[in-house]
Chain A
Amino acid sequence: MKYPDISKAVEQEILASYEKLYRLAFSYVKNEQDAMDVVQESVYKAMKNASQIKEKKYIKTWLWRIVINTAVDATRRQSRFVSDDQVQEEGQEDRYEDTDIMVALDTLEEKERKVIMLKVFEEWTIREIADCLHENPNTVKSMLYRGLKKLRGKVEAEMV
């Protein structure tokens, strides 16, 4: 392998953050089994392609990008299966009441949601988010603003 040290660094990054990655995945797919599948699939992809990262400093944003994409793909698959009885049953395994609260995130546009999650939940810098999402920092800022605004609006509407 060309960059064994990169591969090692990816491994360390995964071990340091897999629980956070799981939470992110869970917030999308909303059940334990699918969330674990998303993390596993992402970890597999990351390790398999680790040698292609050029610089260590990009590992974190790159890894999160993989997980976000995989989670979004998984929700798309879930929605294709919505009418399938089996999946409905599996959905009931979900025993977290907190899921109801997080549904608010689903009302955001996809990009706004990503920005909110990385900024508010993971406390990333705008620059890191911009790297991860391949957007420019100003776009990230305006998405953050819009997303926060929508969430607050939603809150007030629901509280009434």
Chain B
Amino acid sequence: MSRLDDIKEAYDNIQVPAELKERVLQSMERGKKDACGEKKESGKAFAGKSERNQKKGHLLPFVRVAEAVAAAVAVLVISVNVSPTVANAMEQVPVLGAIVKIVNFTTYSDKQEKKQMEATVRVPEVKVIGTDGKPLTRESKELNAAVSGYLDKIIQRYKKDVAAVSDGEEGHEEITSDYRIVTNNERLFSLRVDTVIAMGGSDSFTKIYNIDKKTGKMITLKDLFHEGSDYKKRISDSIKEQMRAQMKKDSSKAYFLDDDQSEWDFKQIKDDADFYISDNGELTFVFDKYEVAPGYMGLVEFSVPTEKLSDIVKDGYLQ
């Protein structure tokens, strides 16, 4: 308990700078002024902002990461579309198996200036091409339906949140969702979709779609292993072992494991776990923020050494 008192004491001892009062009064005046002008012209809010920019210096004028990412992705996709050479180089087109590629993308983008809410959701369109060079229409459709269905739920959630905030109130919500290819080897193609929802705190989650290049079909964790094998136990044990080792080595790391509040503990890998194959051929899992660790750890990943699974994995998935 004494530590908590220390924290409280430190908190109470924070010195308030003398100039704060003056700055508070200034901001109050500006806020009042902008509140009066608000209804007449909608551009006023922006004017108020830029005025603050000058005053505040470094805090406001930051490059929005989402926009920077958007620009980068746009460039990337365009180059895929126009240049087959670039596309092939980037996808490391395999000699055998289906080819999966992102042929296009659409962006849902919305900004509610007054409600302080915004969303940018990038929805990829994927095409699966069979070993004979012909497009696999059904497989492509299934994959696209899964991806766009998932992202649509995120968009609908945002729209619902916007509707729930009445005019004049602030929702403070920012949703950003983007995708990238995390595995593209001879056997597997993994498309990862990352979403961050910031509302006061922030929540991050991931969804990974895996396509077996032998068949062009989507697969889940169980499809990687021979039927009846104890893959779940082996994977879970390996992850737990790594969690313990990390926590022991570095006290700043924390996972939900061996906690006396055991309902939070990581127990076993789930059927729909998000995974991909890392560059060195290891099965790698991604856990959402809060899923297996406190929020400050963010999204966490664990790779399971291939030798722990090599006798039960189906041919070619792991290296």
Chain A interfacial positions (CB closer than 8 Å to B) = 1, 7, 11, 14-15, 18-19, 22-23, 26-27, 32-34, 36-41, 43-52, 66, 68-69, 72-74, 76-77, 80-81, 86-87, 90, 96, 98-99, 101-102, 104-111, 114, 117, 120-121, 133, 146, 148-152, 154-155, 157-159
15 contacts between A and B (CB under 8 A): A14-B24, A14-B28, A36-B17, A39-B20, A40-B27, A41-B59, A48-B35, A48-B38, A49-B35, A73-B172, A101-B10, A107-B294, A108-B294, A121-B11, A151-B3
Residue contact B30 to A72, C-beta cutoff 8 Å:
no
Known: A43-B24, A44-B52. A74 touches B59 (CB 8 A): yes
* Interface assignment of B89: CB less than 8 Å from any CB of chain A: no
Tell me which of A7, A48, A86 contacts B34 (CB under 8 A): A48
- Asked if residues A98 and B290 are in contact (CB atoms below 8 Å), the reply is no
Extra contacts, 19 of them, besides A15-B24, A44-B48 (Cβ < 8 A), are A36-B17, A37-B59, A39-B23, A40-B55, A40-B56, A41-B52, A44-B30, A44-B52, A47-B27, A47-B28, A47-B30, A48-B38, A48-B48, A50-B32, A107-B296, A111-B201, A149-B261, A150-B294, A152-B3
A36-B23, A80-B62 known; A155+B296 contact, CB < 8 A: no
Asked if residues A76 and B202 are in contact (CB atoms below 8 Å), the reply is yes
In the complex, the answer to whether B3 meets A158 with C-beta atoms within 8 Å is yes
* Chain B stretch 59-115: residues in CB contact (< 8 A) with chain A: 59-60, 62, 65
Among B26, B55, B59, B169, the most chain A Cβ lie within 10 Å of the Cβ of B59
Give Cα A27–Cα B13 distance, bound, in whole angstroms. 11
Within 8 Å CB of A72, what residues of B? Answer: 200-202
Alpha-carbon gap, A117 to B8, bound state (A):
9
Q: Given A22-B14, A22-B16, are A77 and B35 neighbors across the interface (CB < 8 Å)?
A: no
Residue from B11, B16, B28, B169 within 8 A of A27 (CB atoms): B11
Q: Which residues of B contact A47 (CB under 8 A)?
A: 27-28, 30-32, 35
Which has the most chain A C-beta neighbours within 10 Å: B7, B30, B169, B295? B7
Task: Point out the residues of chain B lying under 8 angstroms from A102, CB to CB.
Answer: 7, 10-11
CA distance A1 to B39 in the complex (A): 10
Q: Which residues of B contact A (CB under 8 A)?
A: 1-4, 6-8, 10-17, 19-21, 23-24, 26-28, 30-32, 34-36, 38, 48, 52, 55-56, 58-60, 62, 65, 168-170, 172, 198, 200-202, 251-252, 254, 261, 290, 294-296
- Point out which of B4, B12, B15, B200 has the most chain A C-beta atoms below 10 A from its C-beta: B200
CA A121 to CA B11, docked complex, whole Å: 8
Q: How far is the CA of A98 from the CA of B7 in the complex (A)?
A: 8
* Contact present for A121 and B290 (CB under 8 Å): no
Distance between B135 CB and nearest chain A CB, rounded to angstroms = 40
Q: Is there contact, CB below 8 Å, between B4 and A120?
A: yes
A24–B69 alpha-carbon span in the complex (Å): 32
A23 touches B11 (CB 8 A): yes
Chain A residues with CB below 8 A from B12, complex form: 23, 121
Q: Which of B1, B10, B11 contacts A152 (CB 8 A)?
A: B1
With A74-B59, A107-B254 given, is the CB distance from A40 to B23 under 8 Å?
Answer: yes
C-alpha gap A73/B296 in the complex (Å)? 15
| Interchain CB contact under 8 A, A49 and B48 | no
Q: Are A48 and B31 in contact (CB under 8 A)?
A: yes
Q: Which of B10, B55, B170 touches A49 (beta carbons < 8 Å)?
A: B170
Cα distance, A49 to B48, chains bound together (Å): 13
Beta-carbon nearest neighbor of B15 in chain A: A96
Taking CB atoms, residues of chain A closer than 8 Å to B58 are 33, 86-87, 90
* A106 pairs with B31, CB closer than 8 A: no
Complex Cα distance, B60 from A50, in Å, reads: 22
| Complex contacts, B168 vs chain A, CB 8 Å | 49, 51-52
Give chain B nearest CB distance to A17 CB in angstroms: 10
